[in-house]
């Protein structure tokens, strides 16, 4: 079959899937989500499934992935036969979070009311929020993630039914991080669409931790998209711990719009996953705002992790920092595309980007591509990308002190990763991730069924 024909078939199949299930999709989802569906599937039809010829997806051929999937879709909430909180218990008392669970992208019905949230803060199901707070959802839903500009965003918007909704009102500080654990479950191969909306109003502060997990060995696919509005002077952190298994496909989008004086940090940690694609989009839409994007991917076997970032500097005197690192073992592959656009009016911009990669074998492969478009003279921008091997002189130094090769290599890999790990502004989470990465590098978590909360099991 030719590639064009294959792509056409995928497009047709997904469009049919939409048409024949639109009544299920619309059922109980609320007008805001439903109104966006048809334009979104149209937008998908126009763009089609991206393959290696699609510039933004050249390192992750989605057509190849979608051609081979025949996964079960979850068009209605499926009640869990076990208590997820019991199935997935937290054994780290030091990491105290406001915890909610999702299963296959749906807000778990057994989530208890979070009693320690400050007044006015809402953490709930997105479909529920669309009905209960239609003005809020309408004001922000689909405003940051444009289906016309990205086919995965189009697909997500067309099929979105649930996810998490977080609202932090003006000047409220949520001290305890909000943690969202999504568990992919089911006895057969399953595809899930998850859609989240985070609204942090002016002068508010919140830290959000997304943990992506699987409990069963089946093939899973997730199209997970988060839109976040960060108001003036707000401080918001997003951590994403991707810890599924090697047969999982994780397609994640994070769209953030920042207003003036706001400060955002994202840290994407890809520990386990078959094919991971992260689209990170930040629009700096006000003066003196700061965006920090970090990412670490540890891959082995035939895993693939591709990070795509796009930071748009639209206003003067803002700063963005990007640091992404990959450690690639066996025949695993990785991609990084870092796009920065400094607009005509964005004078005084500071935009830095770095992508460092270590290949542990001759068969691992990394593609890295900085893309800076600068339409202003008064800026400081830098980018750097390296693909290298373990420093042999450092290795010899460690060995010459009695440290065996394997341990010495681990120390160096860990040291390499640590630069990203230290950029975690939740102390206990940082320690926990440190430990998890250490274990991951040692190969002690070969197929992880547990998250940062529960990795002793």
Partner 1 sequence: MLIVKDLHAKVEGKEILKGINLEVNPGEVHAIMGPNGSGKSTLANVLAGHENYEVTGGEVTFFGKDLLDMDADVRSKEGLFLSFQYPVEIPGVSMVNFLKTALNEHRKYQGKDELKAGDFLKLMKEKKALVEIDSHLTNRSVNEGFSGGEKKKNEIFQMAMLEPKLAILDETDSGLDIDALRIVAHGVNALKRPDNATIVVTHYQRLLDYIVPDFVHVLYNGRIVKSAGKELALELEEKGYDWIKKEVGA
Instruction: Give the interface with partner 1 as residue ranges (CB under 8 A).
Output: 391-394, 396-405, 407-408, 411-412, 414-416, 418-419
Cβ nearer to partner 1, comparing 4 with 415: 415
Q: What pairs with residue 334 in β-bridges?
A: 305, 366
* Neighbouring C-beta atoms of residue 278, cutoff 10 Å: 25
Smallest distance, partner 1 to C-beta of residue 417, A: 8
Among 243, 255, 267, which Cα is nearest to 324's? 267
DSSP 173: B
Cβ nearer to partner 1, comparing 122 with 410: 410
Cβ nearer to partner 1, comparing 22 with 411: 411
Cβ nearer to partner 1, comparing 173 with 396: 396
Smallest distance, partner 1 to C-beta of residue 387, A: 18
Cβ nearer to partner 1, comparing 36 with 412: 412
Cβ nearer to partner 1, comparing 92 with 395: 395
Cβ nearer to partner 1, comparing 87 with 390: 390
DSSP 172: -
Smallest distance, partner 1 to C-beta of residue 403, A: 6
Smallest distance, partner 1 to C-beta of residue 242, A: 22
330 vs 351: CA distance, rounded Å: 34
Is the CB of residue 32 less than 8 Å from the CB of residue 138?
yes
Smallest distance, partner 1 to C-beta of residue 394, A: 5
Among 220, 62, 252, 257, which Cα is nearest to 141's? 257
From its phi and psi, is residue 288 left (phi > 0), alpha (psi between -120 and 50) or beta? left
302 vs 247: CA distance, rounded Å: 10
* Neighbouring C-beta atoms of residue 89, cutoff 10 Å: 12
Smallest distance, partner 1 to C-beta of residue 391, A: 8
Smallest distance, partner 1 to C-beta of residue 405, A: 7
335 vs 54: CA distance, rounded Å: 14
230 vs 332: CA distance, rounded Å: 35
Smallest distance, partner 1 to C-beta of residue 93, A: 23
Cβ nearer to partner 1, comparing 79 with 393: 393
> What is residue 91's three-state secondary structure?
coil
Give me 39's structure tokens.
């334009």
183 vs 220: CA distance, rounded Å: 10
Cβ nearer to partner 1, comparing 275 with 327: 327
Give me 392's structure tokens.
């042999």
Smallest distance, partner 1 to C-beta of residue 307, A: 21
Smallest distance, partner 1 to C-beta of residue 368, A: 20
> What is residue 273's three-state secondary structure?
coil
Give me 18's structure tokens.
């939409």
Of the CA atoms within 13 Å of residue 287, those in its CB half-sphere come to 5
Q: Which residue in the block uniquely carries the two structure tokens 């109980």?
A: 28
Cβ nearer to partner 1, comparing 64 with 399: 399
Pinpoint the alpha helices (H) of 142-183.
151-159
150 vs 50: CA distance, rounded Å: 9
369 vs 308: CA distance, rounded Å: 9
Cβ nearer to partner 1, comparing 74 with 441: 441
Cα dist from 258 to 59, 136, 253, whole Å: 28, 17, 16
* Pairing assessment for the beta strands 275-284 and 304-313 based on DSSP bridges: parallel
Smallest distance, partner 1 to C-beta of residue 70, A: 44
């Amino acid at each position: 079959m030719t590639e064009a024909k294959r792509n056409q078939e995928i497009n047709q199949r997904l469009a049919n899937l939409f048409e024949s299930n639109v009544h299920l999709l619309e059922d109980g989802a609320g007008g805001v989500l439903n109104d966006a569906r048809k334009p979104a599937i149209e937008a998908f039809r126009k763009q089609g499934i991206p393959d290696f010829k699609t510039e933004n997806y050249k390192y992750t051929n989605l057509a190849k992935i979608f051609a081979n999937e025949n996964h079960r879709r979850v068009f209605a909430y499926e009640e869990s036969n076990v208590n997820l909180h019991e199935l997935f218990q937290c054994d780290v008392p030091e990491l105290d979070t406001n915890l909610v669970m999702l299963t296959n992208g749906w807000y778990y019905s057994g989530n208890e009311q979070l009693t320690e949230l400050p007044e006015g803060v809402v953490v709930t199901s997105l479909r529920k929020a669309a009905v209960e707070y239609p003005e809020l959802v309408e004001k922000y839903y689909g405003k940051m993630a444009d289906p016309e500009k990205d086919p995965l965003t189009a697909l997500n918007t067309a099929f979105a039914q649930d996810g998490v909704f977080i609202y932090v009102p003006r000047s409220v500080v949520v001290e305890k991080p909000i943690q969202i654990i999504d568990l992919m479950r089911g006895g057969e191969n399953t595809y899930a669409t998850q859609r989240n909306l985070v609204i942090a109003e002016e002068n508010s502060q919140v830290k959000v931790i997304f943990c992506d997990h699987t409990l069963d060995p089946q093939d899973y696919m997730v199209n997970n998209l988060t839109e976040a509005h960060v108001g003036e002077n707000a401080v918001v952190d997003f951590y994403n711990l991707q810890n599924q298994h090697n047969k999982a496909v994780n397609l994640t989008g994070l769209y953030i719009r920042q207003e003036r004086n706001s400060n955002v940090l994202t840290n994407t940690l890809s520990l386990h996953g078959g094919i991971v694609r992260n689209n990170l989009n930040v629009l700096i839409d006000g003066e003196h705002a700061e965006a920090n994007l970090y990412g670490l991917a540890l891959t082995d076997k035939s895993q693939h992790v591709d990070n795509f970032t796009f930071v748009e500097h639209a206003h003067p005197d803002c700063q963005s920092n990007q640091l992404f690192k990959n450690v690639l073992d066996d025949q695993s592959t990785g991609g990084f595309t870092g796009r920065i656009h400094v607009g005509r009016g964005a004078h005084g911009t500071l935009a830095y980007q770095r992508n460092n990669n270590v290949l542990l074998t001759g068969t691992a492969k990394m593609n890295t591509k900085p893309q800076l478009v600068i339409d202003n003279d008064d800026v400081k921008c830098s980018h750097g990308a390296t693909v290298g091997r373990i420093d042999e002189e450092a290795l010899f130094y460690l060995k010459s002190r009695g440290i065996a090769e394997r341990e010495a290599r681990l120390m160096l890999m860990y040291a390499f990763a640590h630069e990203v790990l230290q950029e975690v502004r939740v102390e206990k989470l940082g320690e926990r991730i440190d430990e998890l990465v250490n274990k991951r590098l040692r190969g002690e978590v070969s197929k992880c069924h547990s998250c940062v909360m529960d990795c002793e099991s």
